[in-house]
Structure 1
Amino acid sequence: MVIGVERIKLALVDHMIWIIILGVSIFFCYTIPNFLTFRNFLFTLYVVSPLGLLVFGEAVCLLGGNMDLSLSENAGFTAMIVGVILVDWVTWLPGWTGIILMPLVGAGLGAVNGFFVGKVKINPFLVTLSTFLIFNWMTYYLRRGAIVRMPGALLIPGGGRIGGIFIAIPILIGMAIFLYFILDHTRFGSHIRAIGGNSKAANMLGINVGNTHFWIFTIAGALAGGAGLLYTGYLKCIPSTIAEGDIFLAFAGAIIGGVSLQGGRGSAIGALGGVILMGIIDAGCTMTAMDPALRGVLNGLILLAAILINKTRASLRDRVLMPK
């Protein structure tokens, strides 16, 4: 049994993300005047809200022992197909229908991944790599440029405000709380963790592994569709490059936030911490006018750091739990 000092050590290991956030914030506060004001913090949360939903989607997949390489392209293709439907194909549809359609379309695309992984039993890396390419090229096929003229209602979730607060911020925080409840306080959440920890043992316990995998990818797809909606409102348009490449940041945010690459371990609140850290780093780079090429290098370093942190966290946890 882990008691006393060991319990404190274990808590520090499991909540390492908040220590990292504190350290990075202190660094930027020291190097950049007026960095961590309340106004800047709110705007930082707003900027990373679309990425945050991708992080949550990836976190759900990783918890179940999977990965989804196609989430960012799902978000982009979902935004583009719904935009084309409203602007070019079915112009009489009211703009608010797009708010409903994007998560539904995203869920449908995620269900395709879930079918091949959960029912056909194909490796999730190969399945989602394939759909990554399909969604990416379908986005370009639909529109080479950007959709600029869109119904105003479609921009509200990602760009609207209530009382001076961007609507995307409570969406991000509310989704983190909702996922925390699902993952930590429902049977379905315990099934996800059990499968991520040991799918064979979970199957022996009577858990329908294939069906759970299907719903994991469907939920992740719905979150990607929601991310596409927030990207649309944030950008005020739908370019063909929308969300392109953000899957790597989504991976980094989830892993830094404490979601294990080995599956079964992590939390939605920790993933939210990963989102906040990504936002703070992005804000620091913006305020220092970092060269875009260097920011690309930094993103690669962040992903590498996330993998190292995951390895270090697992090692520290094993050391704490090791019998004396």
Structure 2
Amino acid sequence: MKASEALALAKAADPDVVSVSSQTQIARLWAGMGSIVRLQCKDSSGNSRTIIAKHINCSNPQSFGDQRKAASYRVEATFYASDYCKELSDFGICCRGLHTEDNGKGDITILMDPLPNHTINFMNGDVAEAAIRSVAKLHAYFWGNEKANAAVAAGLAQQGTYWYLDTRPDEYDSMSNRGLSGKLKKVAYAIDEALKEHKFQTICHGDLKACNMSLSSNPSYVTFVDFQYLGKACPAKDLAYLFCCGMDVDGDFMGRQEREYLQLYIDELLLNNVGRDKKIPLPTLEDLKEALDLAYCDLFRWMLGWGIWGNSFLQERVERVLSDGTIEKLCQ
């Protein structure tokens, strides 16, 4: 962008900025819809200041996929301009939003503070536990239908995550009608409905890959970015994606590690006051395992139409759930 444009944006984010010394593109957005730029600035006292600018151009999206992406960027802009972002950034869960611009025609700019550390490349051990604590803290903030519905009314997505069935008709149609894929295809809508109506609801991040987080200033937690798919969902959907696509799990994940991670998640929910109100109960280990069975099947349904990736335990888990009668019980 022109130097004058960069300075105007930086001053909108921080009126004390007097100059922009450099602009560095650090990422391009999906489908050529823009870029992320790092602005190195100086304030009136001569101090250095870094501002991240996310520029989005999603005007007149044609394909179903591009329409989904355009809607997701509007959700993200809404989040960074909200009190939700301000309060969650105080907890270290997200970067502080500084300024947003949206001309209503698909040109959107989001200005924010940078991540406190480099993005994560390998997630296990203490880093994995930090991620789980942060997911629990995010979920606790929006826990329950009342809070989640209020967030949707404020502009977050009616459905969180990017793989939910309503937004993936092409992938559903691409699923084979035979074998495991055929079995899952037959119950896909029942699973989707069971997750929508599940007794536990919150606002999910929706894309918990390692590259969308860094260690926070408190190493017991992480800081998230990429809030495009922030919306209402059963919390197990975030956990399923994190376990399958975000973490580096060991060979005994289903026998031991999953249980330990779920207990850590429950402990963090409790620390953040979930369960203190009897109307909004704290989930048990058994509650979360049942919800995860639904969420694992839901995630694998999308993968069977799009491409399988992530940790290999997922297919084994789905095969078991579909063969032992678990799914029929959960979808009743």
Structure scoring higher RCO (CA < 8 A, sep ≥ 6) equals 1
TM-score, normalization by structure 2: 0.24
More strand, by proportion? 2
Which structure has greater helix proportion? Answer: 1
